[in-house]
Amino acid sequence: MLSRRIGKQFCGHFKGSFGRFQSTLVVAEHNNETLTPITQNTITAAKNLGGNISVLVAGTKCGPAAEALSKTDGITKVLVAESDIFKGLTVENLTALIVATQNKNKYTHILAGASTLGKTVIPRVAAKLDVSPISDVIGIKSTDTFIRSIYAGNAIQTIQANDPIKILSIRGTSFEPATLGSGSATIEKVPVEGCDTQLSEFVSQELSKSDRPELTSAKVVVSGGRGMKSSDNFKILFDLADKLNAAVGASRAAVDAGYAPSHFLVGQTGSIIAPDLYIAVGISGAIQHLAGMKDSKTIVAINKDPEAPIFQVADYGLVEDLFKAVPEMTGKL
């Protein structure tokens, strides 16, 4: 009897710590040409859970993403669902595919990056499986205990999920990207029958073209706020960004005033980023904005108001008129 108890204990311990019986499905994100970087961060989060990792690639053209994933370290299997029904990757069809894959393979965890796509599809999948999902996870303590931020990053919550399947979206900036290159995962086709829900139809997409790095993965970000005064004035930020090979962001005030397009938005309601260097120009530093950038390694604030709250989080603050300081900085770099 004693040995049985010990055996049981050992089993439980084994399962918990080593993830022997864990299996994770990661929903990949790609644009039919290249893999979206947040998928690599999500794979790292999956590795923290232990166990086997399979990655699901859905789209009209999955070849390039599947190829890259098959070489990613730590992945066992790449599941490919290539079909015209995934044009524009509508949430209803993608959900049907993930649920069918889950019902067949019985994963313990389903993960996606907390991008627009992941934030949209993860909760719908969770509802279909009657599971309470966990959004925007910033830390993994064990296979059922996760850390996330609430109240615009002003409190950190640790929660234990009771549901048998854990369904999570992962904040990309909280996990290092998994390296692509040396792995050798098998590529397997998955059936797509029954996944065409015809509930919605993709009409069109318009992505802004830019030679600058993408906001959420850029090492350096230069952001403008209300102090920029006009959209034309953003040119001085673009010039500085070009010198630093930086992406350009904006505060809510700048977006609402029409100075910057909405996809520039950094904050609780926009992108949450953590670059090596964040330069806030003419941004006061409202809590909603800080929620999107306060995990940046180094924060620089340029603002003529010495009382601006942004200076409380800035590593280096420069109290000066931005229209003088920014061009000067660009000239001297």
Partner 1 sequence: MARVLVGVKRVIDYAVKIRVKPDKTGVVTDGVKHSMNPFDEIAVEEAVRLKEKKLASEIIAITCGPAQSQEALRTALAMGVDKGIHVEVSGPEYETLQPIHVSKILAKIAQNEKIDLIILGKQAIDDDSNQTAQMTSGFLDWSLATFASKIEKGEKDVTVTRDIDGGHEVVTLKLPAIVSADLRLNEPRYATLPNIMKAKKKPIQKLSPKDLGVDTTPRIKIISVEDPPTRQAGQIVPDVDTLIAKLKEKGHC
**Is 237 one of the binding residues for partner 1 (CB under 8 A)?**
no
Residue 330 and residue 141: Cα distance in Å, rounded? 43
> Nearest distance from residue 25's CB to partner 1, in Å?
17
Q: Given the complex with partner 1, which of 180 and 318 has the nearer CB atom?
A: 318
Find the binding residues for partner 1 in span 301-330 (CB under 8 A): 306, 311-320, 325, 328-329
DSSP code per residue over 109-152: EEEEESSHHHHHHHHHHHHHTT---EEEEEEESSSSEEEEEETT
Residue 211 and residue 302: Cα distance in Å, rounded? 25
> Nearest distance from residue 258's CB to partner 1, in Å?
11
Residue 320 and residue 247: Cα distance in Å, rounded? 23
179: which DSSP letter? Answer: P
Find the binding residues for partner 1 in span 162-201 (CB under 8 A): 162-163, 198-201
Select from 23, 148, 137 the least CA-distant residue to 74: 23
Select from 177, 270, 176, 175 the least CA-distant residue to 223: 270
Find the binding residues for partner 1 in span 137-166 (CB under 8 A): 145, 148-163
**Is 98 one of the binding residues for partner 1 (CB under 8 A)?**
no
**Is 120 one of the binding residues for partner 1 (CB under 8 A)?**
yes
Q: Given the complex with partner 1, which of 29 and 185 has the nearer CB atom?
A: 29
Answer yes or no: are the C-beta atoms of 302 and 222 closer than 8 Å: no
Residue 280 and residue 108: Cα distance in Å, rounded? 41
Q: Is 132 annotated as a binding residue?
A: no
Contacts of 12 (CB under 8 A, 6+ apart): none
Residue 134 and residue 137: Cα distance in Å, rounded? 7
Q: Which of 48, 269, 274, 304 binds partner 1 (CB under 8 A)?
A: 269
Q: Which of 66, 68, 266, 299 binds partner 1 (CB under 8 A)?
A: 299
Q: Is 8 exposed, middle or buried (0-12, 13-18, 19+ CB in 10 A)?
A: exposed
Find the binding residues for partner 1 in span 73-92 (CB under 8 A): 88, 90-92
Q: Is 284 annotated as a binding residue?
A: yes
Find the binding residues for partner 1 in span 13-72 (CB under 8 A): none
Q: Is 288 annotated as a binding residue?
A: yes
Residue 184 C-alpha from the chain's centroid: 25
Q: Given the complex with partner 1, which of 153 and 282 has the nearer CB atom?
A: 153
The interface region with partner 1, picked from 8-16, 132-140, 182-190, 223-231 by CB under 8 A, is 132-140
> Nearest distance from residue 6's CB to partner 1, in Å?
28
Q: Is 263 annotated as a binding residue?
A: no
Q: Given the complex with partner 1, which of 33 and 328 has the nearer CB atom?
A: 328
Q: Which of 143, 268, 282, 322 binds partner 1 (CB under 8 A)?
A: 268
> Nearest distance from residue 181's CB to partner 1, in Å?
25
Considering just the CA atoms, what is the radius of gyration of the chain in Å?
22
Q: Given the complex with partner 1, which of 37 and 74 has the nearer CB atom?
A: 37
Q: Dihedral of the CA atoms 225, 227, 230, 232 (nearest 10)?
A: -80
Select from 165, 82, 84, 177 the least CA-distant residue to 128: 165
Q: Given the complex with partner 1, which of 182 and 208 has the nearer CB atom?
A: 208
Residue 151 and residue 171: Cα distance in Å, rounded? 16
Q: Which of 34, 132, 186, 230 binds partner 1 (CB under 8 A)?
A: 132
> Nearest distance from residue 117's CB to partner 1, in Å?
8
Q: Is 194 annotated as a binding residue?
A: no
Binding mask 195-224 for partner 1 (x = CB under 8 A): ---xxxxxxxxxxx-----x-x---x----
